[in-house]
């Protein structure tokens, strides 16, 4: 909408306003000059009203623009704060009252886990405390990850690291495990068999077998 204050007073002496002037002369018994003054006064009053409305509209538009700009600024600050929070180092949480083990128990050897992943027989000793400590003893040797061997799986030759194809010299057959160690080893075995995606029905059958008298 254009600024009404910039408008010029119409020339009410023009022929296009003859009918209006004639009506005013008859209505108010005035001459032509008096009729034109009345028209100018009415136009000025109308312009003042439109100027007030125009100023109010401009102020409203300005407020809306400022509010939109402020909302955008706050949104950008919130996004920046989120990004900054994401980049901050996080401290690991803990559950109050949870006990922490005094000794880290090494996982079973790569050899035992490889056997599990291919659904082959492996002695429970590898999942006992002695077996896992034995695996820890050899895990620090640098050649474990650098040396490879060949094994046969389903009539195919496959290449594995030596650690995953070499049995331990200290392994004991299942029947020679002390009973308490047997119980702990079978729990570890079942846990890692589950991680190796063994079928649930097989795991359930083994659990029942281990628990049977």
Q: What is the pLDDT of residues 138-157, one digit of tens each?
A: 765 534 455 555 555 555 55
Percent of the chain at pLDDT > 90 equals: 24
C-alpha 171/C-alpha 53 separation (Å) is 96
Instruction: Express each pLDDT in 60-118 by its tens digit.
Output: 999 999 999 999 999 999 999 998 888 878 766 666 766 555 555 678 888 889 888 88
Q: What pLDDT score does 65 carry?
A: 93
Boundaries of every domain in the chain: 4-87, 110-211
Sign of CA dihedral 155, 159, 163, 164: negative
pTM of the model: 0.44
Q: What pLDDT score does 143 carry?
A: 46
Q: What pLDDT score does 138 carry?
A: 72
> How many other C-beta atoms lie within 10 A of the C-beta of residue 36?
19
Pair 170, 130: CB distance under 8 Å: yes
Q: Which residues pair with 153 in a beta bridge?
A: 156
Two tokens, residue 93: 């949480």
DSSP 127: G
């Amino acid at each position: 909408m254009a600024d009404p204050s910039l408008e010029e007073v119409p020339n009410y002496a023009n022929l296009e306003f003859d009918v209006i002037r004639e009506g005013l002369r008859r209505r108010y018994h005035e001459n032509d000059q008096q009729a034109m003054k009345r028209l100018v006064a009415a136009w000025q009053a109308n312009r003042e009203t439109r100027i007030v409305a125009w100023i109010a509209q401009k102020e409203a538009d300005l407020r809306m623009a400022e509010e939109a700009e402020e909302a955008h600024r706050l949104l950008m600050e919130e996004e920046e704060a989120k990004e900054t929070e994401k980049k901050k180092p996080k401290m690991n949480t803990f559950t109050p009252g949870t006990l922490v083990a005094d000794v880290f128990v090494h996982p079973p050897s790569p050899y035992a886990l490889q056997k599990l992943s291919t659904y082959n027989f492996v002695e429970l000793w590898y999942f006992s405390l002695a077996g896992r400590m034995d695996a820890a003893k050899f895990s620090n040797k640098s050649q474990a990850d650098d040396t490879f061997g060949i094994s046969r799986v389903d009539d195919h030759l496959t290449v594995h690291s030596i650690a995953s194809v070499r049995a331990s010299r200290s392994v004991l057959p299942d029947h020679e495990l002390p009973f308490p160690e047997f119980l702990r080893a079978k729990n570890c075995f079942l846990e890692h068999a589950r991680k190796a995606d063994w079928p649930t029905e097989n795991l359930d059958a083994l659990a029942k077998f281990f628990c049977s008298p």
